[in-house]
Each structure stands twice: as C-alpha cells, then as structure tokens.
Structure 1
C-alpha cells in the first residue's frame, strides 16, 4: 500500500470540483502539528494561529462555491482531544466548513464501515484518501482509492451519517 503525506492529500483540495467530505472516527489524533496547540489549550491558552493554512484554504475553496463537510463520530463523554476539537470547531465553521457530530452510540447498529473503519476524505464522489495510523495513533499517511465499489459504499455511508448527525451549532456535548 502506497501512502501519501498530509500535504499531498491537501493538494486534492486544489482539484476537486464540488464536494469534499471527511469522516472522522477517532477519539484522539496524534498529529504532530497539533501537539503544541493542544498542550497550550490544556493549560488554558487559546491560539488558533496554527489553523491559518487550513482555514485560508477552506475559505478559498468555499468562496468558489465548493462544499467542505465533515462528520465526527465521537464517544461520549468526550476525550480531552475531542473537547479541544469541539472548542476549535467554530474556527473551521467560520472558514466555511459544514461540520456535524454523531455520538458513537447513535450510529446505526447494522452499519459496517468501509475501508476497515478508517477515517477518509471523499472528493467529488470519486476519489478517497483513506487515513492510516500507527499503533500509537500517529498519522502515517493517506491511501488513495478510486475503486468504484469502495467509493460507492463510502458515498452510501456518508449520506447515512450526514443525515443522522447533528450540525455543530445544535450539538451540545
């Protein structure tokens, strides 16, 4: 399996035409770029400057009429990491992302998650960037998948979860 970096995955935002959708399934992300800001937040220091490259990109693509959406499937009560994500989500939303929350216990019991239950980005219902992590939760990279059957299953799961999830402004953990 060939993995691409986060920077290479973000290049997909330069070429998608209509919709980018992210499914997040983990209660903790050990992303090195976030280690410092997360530790600061735990100490009560809030600084969203580290988010600027992402939010600038989101503003640009959404100003072009494209949508960027995500569903966060989370355990309740939230881990400290998810508490931090919740606290910073308003910055993502202000930049143009449409983010919804789905408590893990509300996921339909019959649902089998595609691609091994990993997180994924779906671009224009045709290209998947499936996230892979090591045993400690650190991001290894993303695997690009364009198999029509796998993509179709991810589209089905996206639509089901999107309908079931609560918009950020309404979600109260």
Structure 2
C-alpha cells in the first residue's frame, strides 16, 4: 500500500509550512509519496474547504487548521457517498499538478 499526501500551500509559506516541509523527508523515508502544490497553481480546481483524509473510498475525515498550523479541535467526517466521491477526484487533480517533495523548493 502506498500512502500519498498532497499539500496545497500559500506562497510565501508560513513558518509552520516551512517547518512541515523540513520534516517531510522523514515521511518520504518512511515510504510516503508527498507532493506540494502552490495555491496559485490550484486556482481553477474545485477543492474541499479543508484538509482531508480519505479511508478506503468510504469515509472522509476533514481536518481544520488556522493559518499558522494550529489545529482547530473540530473534526467532521462523512460516509455520505456523494461527499466521499468528490474527494478522490479533487485529490487526483491536485496530485497531477503537484511537485514531488524531492523536487520542490520553498521560495
């Protein structure tokens, strides 16, 4: 099983994103495939309004964070097929445009 993670980020990046980028090599070494997409390259994609985790194309869990990376304690999840179906399509669009971690340099 491959775990893929795509991060859509604002430029210039926050200190939190810089920190996250610095630590991502550990995720890659553990087997994750991580890509980065500057927000200005995602302007025409229909993306969910929050980060999300997709489990088996049956459950999606949304995660909310402040701009500085502070997690907002509210979590939402859905197993509604209509909600779940939109997330893989959004992810794949981001994935196609995103830059692999080993090639991505923060400005």
For normalisation by structure 1, the TM-score amounts to 0.56
**Partner of residue 6, structure 1:** none
Judged with a 3 Å threshold, the aligned counterparts in structure 2 of structure 1 residues 132 and 77 are, in CA distance, closer, same or farther, namely closer
SS at match of 2:13: coil
The answer on whether the counterparts of 1:73 and 1:102 sit within 8 Å (CA) in structure 2 is yes
- How many pairs are equivalent? 105
Judged with a 3 Å threshold, the aligned counterparts in structure 2 of structure 1 residues 133 and 74 are, in CA distance, closer, same or farther, namely closer
SS at match of 1:93: helix
Report the Cα offset of residue 141 of structure 1. 4.1
Q: Which whole-Å deviations, capped at 9, do the CAs of 1:6-50 have from their partners, x for residues lacking one?
A: xxxxxxxxxxxxxxxxxxxxxxxxxxxxxxxxxxxxxxxxxxxxx
Report the Cα offset of residue 149 of structure 1. 0.9
Alignment of 1:92-103 (within 5 A): 92-103=27-38
For normalisation by structure 2, the TM-score amounts to 0.87
**Partner of residue 125, structure 1:** 57
Report the Cα offset of residue 133 of structure 1. 4.8
Residues of 1 paired with 2:43 and 2:64: CA distance? 24
Stretches (4+) displaced over 3 A: none
Report the Cα offset of residue 143 of structure 1. 2.0
The answer on whether the counterparts of 1:70 and 1:99 sit within 8 Å (CA) in structure 2 is yes
Residues of 1 paired with 2:60 and 2:80: CA distance? 9
1:162 aligns with 2:95: yes
Instruction: Quote the RMSD (CA, aligned, Å).
Output: 2.0
Larger Rg: 1
1:107 aligns with 2:42: yes
Alignment of 1:133-148 (within 5 A): 133=65, 137-148=70-81
